[in-house]
Amino acid sequence: GMFDYVEGATRLQKYGFLLSMKIKELERVGFYNDWEASNFGPFSKQLAIDVTKSVTTGIVKTYHIKNMYDFYVDRFALSDGKEVVKIFSELHPSIFNKMKEILMPYQTKTLQALLQDVYYQYPQFTNASKIKAEIGKKIYESDSYLSTMYDEPDI
């Protein structure tokens, strides 16, 4: 299904960011609102903490895999989290459908394309970015290039 896995911590962060910017009702259900301009664009410390917690408690499993670009990334897969998603989708069907609509196209796009979109649409979150200059030029698809385990190196 749609949210079976997400490839890489950086992608996960940008997904969360796009959802919080584009779906205002998420504020009401207590979604992340601590976005800050960080090394690789918008970043939420709380999301990073929750991902780590979810991995520790087994809601999310990580697999260190080699992606199609020959880089190693952490793939985040919902294990017990599938139940959480199901409950959320039943409680908030319209929000859930909007989430799918926003994220669906990105599941097949490169990280580069996702970052380009985020940087272009929300330039106010790119002022601290270490990779801003490369976004348009350099093709990279590596979470090892971008980040450490579940968060960014300077945190």
3-state SS record for the chain: CCCCEEECHHHHHHHHHHHHHHCHHHHCCCCCCCEEEECCEEEEHHHHHHHHHHHHHCCEEEEEEECCCCCEEEEEEECCHHHHHHHHHHHCHHHHHHHHHHHHHHHCCCHHHHHHHHHHHCHHHCCCCCCHHHHCCCCCCCHHHHCCCCCCCCC
- Give the mean model confidence (pLDDT) for residues 127-142: 61
If pLDDT is split at 50, 70 and 90, which confidence band does 133 have? low
Confidence of residue 3 (pLDDT cuts 50, 70, 90): low
Band the pLDDT of 74: cuts 50, 70, 90: confident
pLDDT of 135 above 80? no
Look up the pTM and report it. Answer: 0.80
